[in-house]
């Protein structure tokens, strides 16, 4: 069962309600360095807590947080609540606005082995360590991870829609997404959220490093506050959305490769052993190309682009030891054949290599290759939600950066403290 609790959120003081757009921040890995620099220029932007700067970033974040609390820049809500969070967005070509509906709560930071929260991607150790250091220094969570649950009855949507009649914030974010936040304080309604999720497993859509950091921190703190019925360090901030009846969109993440040590022609010859290949011509036109066939990709060099499609008879040679749900994925084929078998990078090397980069922006991929900085780009197609669910339930993980759930949850709308004095409350009132 997935144990969730409401939270006594910290939020920017009411004096900032009219300028909340200027204080929120996207996840650090989804915006360019130039965009991040603009955010850092605002001394009150939440990025100073989520991605602090300086030689001692975690300590700097703790110092800033202390001052913001003292100066009432951040104020804690008096009562715990479930925070309803709707994101209204359009994709290119959309005429109608989509809405992804969900809510933000605290969830137990379960070990992966407990299989209450299921992951689908592997993590990078250094990034996890950074998150642990930040949690230890600040005891605050600035942006929620994103989890999915399956509830065909969709019982909770009516409560969420009702809360949206009186929003706390309504703003347009860096993506052009309309973000709306509301809160539910009614104990009986909150108890229904807890009861519904108690019967569910949660599939982690986004935030693997942050959740893994929370799991590690929970273990470090397991001997603290032995008399506490609910310990702040046991919980993690998560945005939860229902798989059923919701606008869940996954965008592709492309691959860039730097410092190719063999010639372009030699690479093409090696690829030809595994893939059916045809010259495509203008790389820019790949943005409108529909990759209908499984295991098909765009390959972009400086002067020419190709469409490559795995030869069906070769699939049997791709990671036969893996469950079929994982073996069928485009990116498993790509990473095994191109990056391991042809270029000699083991899965562990791929996770650590500075030759391999991940880029969701198609135009930036083309610029990197045409400028000569990158040796080539691989243009991928989006993964299907059903594939993510199948992989999670198989107990295996995909190659890193396999999914890009859109839109991303925004940081700075609310903050969750795991400091025991700020977290403490008789949550039993919501468990009846």
User: Do 243 and 257 belong together in one domain?
Assistant: no
User: Domain for residue 397, yes or no?
Assistant: no
Identify whether residues 290 and 192 lie together within a single domain.
Answer: no
Domain extent, residue 83, equals 4-250+406-430
In a domain, 399, yes or no: no
Q: Which tokens in the block code for residue 233?
A: 């360090």
* In a domain? residue 49: yes
Residues 313 and 233 in one domain: no
Count CB-CB contacts under 10 A for residue 132: 18
pLDDT value of residue 123: 62
Structure tokens at 418: 């795991």
Q: With respect to residue 395, please indicate whether it lies within any of the assigned structural domains.
A: no
Looking at residue 426, what is its pLDDT?
A: 93
Are residues 268 and 205 part of one domain? no
Indicate whether 274 and 209 sit together in one domain. no
Q: Which pLDDT score, from 0 to 100, does residue 260 have?
A: 92
Clarify whether residues 60 and 185 are in a common domain. Answer: yes
- 165 within domain boundaries: yes
Q: How far is CA 169 from CA 156, 362, 384, in A?
A: 21, 32, 32
> Are 35 and 55 within one domain?
yes
Element (H, E) at 351: helix 347-352
Same domain, 53 and 150: yes
Question: Who's near 100: CB < 8 A, 6+ residues apart?
Answer: 86, 87, 89, 241, 246, 247, 248, 249, 407
Query: What pLDDT is recorded for position 299?
Result: 95
Instruction: Flag whether 392 is in a domain.
Output: no
DSSP, res 337:
I
CA dist., res. 304 & res. 281, Å (int): 5
Distance of alpha carbon 129 from alpha carbon 49, whole angstroms? 16
> Rounded to whole angstroms, how far apart are CA atoms 390 and 329?
11
Q: Are residues 293 and 174 in the same domain?
A: no
Helix ranges restricted to H, 199-263:
208-220
Examine the domain organization and report whether 64 and 87 are in the same domain: yes
pLDDT for residue 259:
93
Give the CATH number of the domain where residue 371 resides.
3.30.1760
Under-70 pLDDT residues of the chain: 29, 31, 122-127
The answer to whether residues 91 and 249 touch, using CB atoms and an 8 Å cutoff, is: yes
How many CB atoms are located within 10 Å of the residue 284 CB?
A: 13
The whole-number pLDDT of residue 208 equals 84
Structure tokens at 65: 């947080």
pLDDT tens digit sequence for 314-365: 989 998 898 888 888 999 999 999 999 999 988 888 888 889 999 988 899 9
- The count of domains in the chain is 2
Rounded Cα gap, residues 157 and 146, in angstroms = 17
Concatenate the DSSP letters of all residues of 393-429 into one string.
HHT--BPTT--EEESPPPBSS-BEE--HHHH---GGG
388 belongs to a structural domain: no
Q: pTM value?
A: 0.89
Take residue 378 and report the two structure tokens written for it: 């691989």
How many CB atoms neighbour CB 373 within 10 A?
10
* Same-domain status, 113 and 198: yes
β-bridge pairing 140-141 and 254-257: unpaired
pLDDT of 8 reads 96
Identify the CATH number of the domain in which residue 96 sits. Answer: 3.90.1530.10
Q: Are residues 204 and 295 in the same domain?
A: no
Q: Which residue shows structure tokens 């999915």?
A: 148
Per the domain annotation, does 206 fall within a domain? yes
């Amino acid at each position: 069962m997935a144990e969730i609790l409401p939270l006594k959120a910290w939020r920017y003081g009411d004096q900032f309600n009219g300028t909340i757009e200027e204080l929120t921040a996207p996840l650090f890995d989804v915006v360019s360095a130039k965009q991040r620099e603009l955010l850092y220029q605002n001394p009150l932007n939440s990025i100073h807590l989520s991605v602090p700067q300086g030689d001692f970033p975690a300590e700097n974040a703790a110092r800033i947080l202390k001052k913001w609390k003292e100066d009432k820049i951040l104020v804690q809500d008096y009562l715990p609540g479930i925070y309803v969070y709707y994101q209204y967005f359009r994709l290119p070509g959309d005429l109608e606005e989509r809405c992804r509906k969900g809510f933000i709560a605290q969830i137990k930071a379960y070990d992966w082995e407990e299989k209450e929260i299921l992951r689908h991607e592997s993590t990078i150790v250094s990034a996890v360590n950074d998150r642990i250091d930040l949690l230890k220094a600040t005891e605050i969570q600035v942006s929620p991870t994103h989890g999915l649950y399956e509830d065909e009855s969709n019982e909770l949507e009516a409560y969420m829609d009702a809360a949206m009649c009186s929003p706390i914030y309504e703003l347009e974010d860096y993506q052009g997404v309309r973000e709306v936040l509301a809160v539910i304080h009614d104990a009986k309604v909150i108890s229904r959220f807890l009861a519904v999720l108690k019967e569910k497993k949660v599939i982690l859509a986004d935030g693997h490093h942050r959740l893994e950091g929370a799991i590690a921190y929970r273990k470090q703190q397991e001997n603290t506050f032995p008399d506490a019925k609910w310990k702040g360090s046991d919980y993690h901030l998560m945005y939860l959305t229902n798989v059923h009846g919701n606008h869940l969109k996954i965008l592709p993440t492309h691959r860039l490769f730097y410092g190719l040590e063999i010639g372009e022609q030699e690479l093409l010859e090696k690829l030809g052993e595994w893939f059916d290949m045809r010259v495509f011509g203008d790389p820019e036109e790949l943005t409108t190309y529909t990759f209908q066939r499984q295991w098909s990709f765009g390959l972009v060099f400086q002067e020419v682009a190709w469409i490559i499609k795995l030869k069906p008879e070769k699939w049997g040679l791709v990671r036969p030891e893996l469950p079929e749900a994982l073996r069928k994925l485009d990116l498993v084929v790509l990473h095994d054949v191109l990056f391991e078998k042809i270029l000699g990078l083991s899965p562990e090397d791929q996770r650590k290599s500075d030759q391999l980069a991940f880029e969701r922006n198609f135009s930036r991929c083309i610029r990197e290759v045409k400028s000569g900085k990158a040796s080539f780009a691989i243009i991928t197609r989006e993964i299907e939600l059903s594939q993510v669910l199948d992989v999670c339930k198989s107990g295996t993980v995909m190659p890193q950066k396999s999914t890009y759930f859109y839109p991303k949850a925004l940081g700075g709308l609310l903050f969750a403290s795991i400091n025991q004095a700020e977290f403490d409350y008789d949550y039993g009132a919501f468990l009846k």
